[in-house]
Amino acid sequence: MLEACCMVFLLLFCYQVASAEIHREGHYVAAVYEHRPILNPNPATLTDRRSALELMSRNLYIYEEQVIAAAKQGAQIIVFPEDGIHGFNFTRETIYPYLEFVPCPQSVKWNPCREPHLFSDTEVLQRLSCMALRSKMFLVANIGAKQPCEYNDPLCPPDGRYQFNTDVVFDASGTLVARYRKQNLYFEYAFNTPPEVDHVLFDTPFAGCQDASYTSDEHSIGTYIEENQI
């Protein structure tokens, strides 16, 4: 989880655009839910996929309740916190049953709710997609993701897969529109640093958003905002 002492900033920048769907001119309604996750009491002990899904489902039920509540208040986008679905304090091996396969949205257009069998190990993505579809709102959530890699990849871990701390974004139809793999890991030994930095943009009817990660010694936030005209 992000700690106050960590020199990392994970920012969600939004700029206003004209839209007939905005509740008031120049404004939109966003919901942010600070979730206290139901945790695995023994995260260092290996479990199976079924048990992992059962635990994550308990947190997803709470997410579903909050999406319904936000929709009743007119929210157009809801953002959930880091580690809210699977929890934390795992090892690389014990988090594996909790990981989902997340395809690159720039490579394939996919609606997990409507196309649940297109990819394996995507049960959590399907639930999140259906929440967005039923509520007709954008949804941002954090999950653990896995990605196989080839042994001729010099960065490929010995077990043949990358494991990423990943944010996913669904639009109001439930389509996966963005994926951000966390670059600056803070004592998160279960995850890998992505081989390249993700700079992710996604469009909405009410605002355009950019998700960007920085370290304090690489690039100032102010400079990045100025260069990208955010």
Q: Write the DSSP string, 170-193.
A: E-TTS-EEEEEE--S-SS-TTSPP
Question: If we measure between CA atoms, which residue out of 168, 165, 169 comes closest to residue 203?
Answer: 169
Structure tokens at 108: 């394939």
Residue with tokens 């007939």: 20
What CATH topology corresponds to 28-196?
Answer: Nitrilase/N-carbamoyl-D-aminoacid amidohydrolase (3.60.110)
- Residue 178 burial class via C-beta count within 10 angstroms: exposed 0-12, middle 13-18, buried 19 and up: buried
Q: Given this model, what pLDDT does residue 199 score?
A: 87
Q: What percent of the chain has pLDDT over 70?
A: 79
Instruction: List phi, psi (to 5°) of 13.
Output: -95, 135
| Radius of gyration for the chain, computed over Cα atoms and rounded to the nearest angstrom | 18
Task: Give the confidence band of 214 by pLDDT, cuts at 50, 70, 90.
Answer: very low
Q: Given this model, what pLDDT does residue 7 score?
A: 27
Average pLDDT over residues 58-63: 98
**Single pTM value for the model:** 0.83
How far is 126 from 36, CA to CA, in rounded Å? Answer: 22
Q: Given this model, what pLDDT does residue 206 score?
A: 87
Q: SS3 for 10?
A: strand
String of b and e for 55-73 (b: at least 16 CB within 10 Å)?
A: bbeebbebbbebbeebbee
Q: Write the DSSP string, 101-112.
A: E---TTT----T
Alpha helices, DSSP H, located in the chain: 49-72, 123-135, 221-228
Average pLDDT over residues 6-14: 33
Residue with tokens 């400079």: 223
Whether residue 179 is predicted with pLDDT greater than 70 in this model: the reply is: yes
Average pLDDT over residues 163-178: 97
Q: Given this model, what pLDDT does residue 9 score?
A: 31
For the chain, give every domain's residue range. Answer: 28-196
Task: Count the Cβ atoms, other than its own, within 10 Å of residue 148.
Answer: 10
How far is 143 from 145, CA to CA, in rounded Å? Answer: 6
